[in-house]
């Protein structure tokens, strides 16, 4: 492992562009390091605490979504000044884009375990957003001694009503249709090429879910996604193979359902009313949330207002609410 050897010695990544006002928060606390896996080296972002560690939440591991990266978390770090926030780039994304195969929730969970070990943490709260929520659930199942509790943000529970058999998987005949519907638009976006930084940022600025979240953090996040801004044309570093394999794993493998059946850690489930395109209802409509609440009575459910699938993470207000939930225990 190379956890003690930072990839960069200075804080920040220098990606925030003048197209958005303000600055990226908590950059004076930020550093990057790497963790070795059998398949390559994972990039890990860390925000160190200010002063004494927060006794309510001394450390937190945050896991991003299917096409995101660890630079989605600056606002969460700013909301948790006394917390050591550790956030990997999942294999096939960001600085870890060359890691893998294999992909899938089990592979990601084992990577998170390596990160926790490299950070010399014995047991820690794990927060996952979107696909990161599913990774968090499987991490707790495969590495129970390393996880204290879970915070699942708009992810981590299968979409739709809970099936009678949680380990039931979608019939193969349906899988290809669903995968084409889900991954087709994502593949098209990940395949896009941009002539320069301005055109890339212009594309993201028009995204319907980012209208209330266009600032230095979102610009930094988008720039980190493409990596070297001088290497033209610009394109996302997210591996299409990783995205498709992870999507298929969520539909065809029993990993998530079996992990939920064995769930033995305290868990909070956070939902927002709007989805990937700022549409309503969001990923988990209220009626579906109630069914999951009935299925898992010990699950602490937080139905937040005024956010979509992106702004819960990419705004100070959304991150403040996530931070409060993570600290509540």
- Tell me the CA distances in angstroms from 65 to 135, 140, 171, 182, one per residue in order: 9, 17, 25, 15
Question: Which pLDDT belongs to residue 176?
Answer: 78
- CA dist., res. 229 & res. 17, Å (int): 11
Q: Is residue 248 part of a domain?
A: yes
Question: Which pLDDT belongs to residue 62?
Answer: 99
Q: How many helices and strands in the chain, by DSSP H and E?
A: 11, 8
Q: Is residue 9 part of a domain?
A: no
For tokens 């990940």, what's the residue?
Answer: 190
- Give the tens place of pLDDT for each residue, 286-329: 999 999 999 999 999 999 999 999 999 999 999 999 999 999 97
pTM to 2 decimal places? 0.94
State the average pLDDT over residues 271-296: 96
Report yes or no: 103 and 242 within 8 Å, Cβ to Cβ.
Answer: yes
For tokens 């394109």, what's the residue?
Answer: 235
Q: Say whether 225 sits in a helix, a strand or coil.
A: helix
- Give the tens place of pLDDT for each residue, 126-155: 999 999 999 999 999 999 999 999 999 999
Question: Which pLDDT belongs to residue 21?
Answer: 66
H/E element, 243: helix 240-252
- CA dist., res. 50 & res. 225, Å (int): 28
- CA dist., res. 25 & res. 243, Å (int): 29
Whether residue 109 is predicted with pLDDT greater than 90 in this model: the reply is yes
Question: Which pLDDT belongs to residue 180?
Answer: 82
Question: Which pLDDT belongs to residue 3?
Answer: 40
The partner residues of 153 in beta bridges, in order of sequence, read 129, 270
Per-residue confidence band for 19, with pLDDT thresholds at 50, 70 and 90:
low
Per-residue confidence band for 17, with pLDDT thresholds at 50, 70 and 90:
very low
Whether residue 88 is predicted with pLDDT greater than 70 in this model: the reply is yes
Q: Is residue 322 part of a domain?
A: yes
Q: Is residue 114 part of a domain?
A: yes
- CA dist., res. 127 & res. 109, Å (int): 13
State the average pLDDT over residues 164-168: 84
Could you give the count of Cα atoms lying within 13 Å of 93 in the half-sphere of its Cβ?
28
* Average pLDDT of the chain to the nearest whole number: 92
- CA dist., res. 91 & res. 79, Å (int): 27
Q: Is residue 170 part of a domain?
A: yes
Task: Spell out the residues 6+ positions from residue 206 whose beta carbon is closer than 8 angstroms to its own.
Answer: none
Question: Which pLDDT belongs to residue 52?
Answer: 93
Maximum pairwise Cα distance, the chain: 56
> What percentage of the chain carries pLDDT values higher than 70?
94
Q: Is residue 21 part of a domain?
A: no
Report yes or no: 269 and 129 within 8 Å, Cβ to Cβ.
Answer: no
Question: Which pLDDT belongs to residue 20?
Answer: 62
Q: Is residue 250 part of a domain?
A: yes
Whether residue 24 is predicted with pLDDT greater than 80 in this model: the reply is yes
Question: Which pLDDT belongs to residue 1?
Answer: 40
Q: Which of 225, 201, 223, 205 is nearest to 214 (CA)?
A: 205
Q: Is residue 15 part of a domain?
A: no
User: Domain containing 268 — which CATH number?
Assistant: 3.40.50.1820
Domain assignment of residue 183, given as a range = 27-328
Question: Which pLDDT belongs to residue 18?
Answer: 40
Per-residue confidence band for 174, with pLDDT thresholds at 50, 70 and 90:
confident
Q: Which of 321, 299, 300, 303 is nearest to 312 (CA)?
A: 321
Task: Spell out the residues 6+ positions from residue 310 whose beta carbon is closer than 8 angstroms to its own.
Answer: 207, 209, 210, 213, 276
Whether residue 50 is predicted with pLDDT greater than 80 in this model: the reply is yes
Domain count, the chain: 1
In 48-174 the beta strands, taken as DSSP E runs, fall at 59-63, 84-88, 124-129, 147-153
């Amino acid at each position: 492992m190379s956890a003690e050897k930072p990839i960069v010695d200075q804080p920040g990544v220098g990606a925030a562009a003048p197209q958005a006002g303000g600055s990226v928060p908590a950059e004076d606390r930020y550093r990057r390091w790497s963790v070795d896996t059998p398949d390559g080296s994972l990039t890990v972002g860390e925000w160190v605490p200010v002063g004494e560690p927060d006794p309510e939440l001394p450390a937190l591991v945050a896991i991003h979504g299917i096409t995101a990266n660890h630079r989605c978390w600056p606002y969460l770090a700013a909301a948790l000044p006394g917390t050591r926030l550790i956030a990997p780039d999942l294999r096939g994304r960001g600085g870890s884009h060359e890691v893998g195969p294999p992909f899938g929730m089990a592979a990601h969970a084992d990577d998170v375990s390596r990160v926790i070990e490299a950070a010399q943490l014995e047991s820690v709260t794990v927060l996952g957003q979107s696909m990161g929520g599913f990774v968090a659930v499987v991490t707790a199942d495969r590495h129970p001694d390393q996880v204290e509790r879970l915070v699942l943000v708009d992810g981590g529970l299968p979409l739709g009503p809970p099936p009678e058999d949680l380990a039931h998987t979608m019939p193969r005949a349906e899988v290809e249709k669903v995968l084409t519907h889900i991954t087709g638009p994502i593949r098209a976006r990940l395949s896009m090429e941009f002539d320069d930084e301005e055109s890339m940022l212009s594309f993201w600025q028009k995204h319907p879910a980012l209208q209330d979240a266009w600032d230095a953090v979102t610009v930094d996040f988008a720039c980190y996604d493409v990596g070297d801004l001088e290497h033209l044309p610009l394109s996302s570093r997210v591996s299409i193979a990783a995205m498709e394999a992870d999507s298929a794993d969520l539909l065809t493998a029993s990993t998530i359902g079996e992990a939920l059946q064995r769930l033995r850690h305290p868990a909070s489930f956070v939902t927002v009313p709007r989805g990937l395109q700022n549409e309503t209802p969001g990923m988990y409509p209220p009626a579906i949330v109630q069914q999951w609440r009935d299925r898992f009575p010990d699950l602490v459910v937080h139905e937040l207002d005024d956010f979509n699938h992106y702004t819960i993470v990419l705004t100070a207000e959304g991150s403040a609410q996530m931070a409060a939930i993570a600290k509540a225990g």
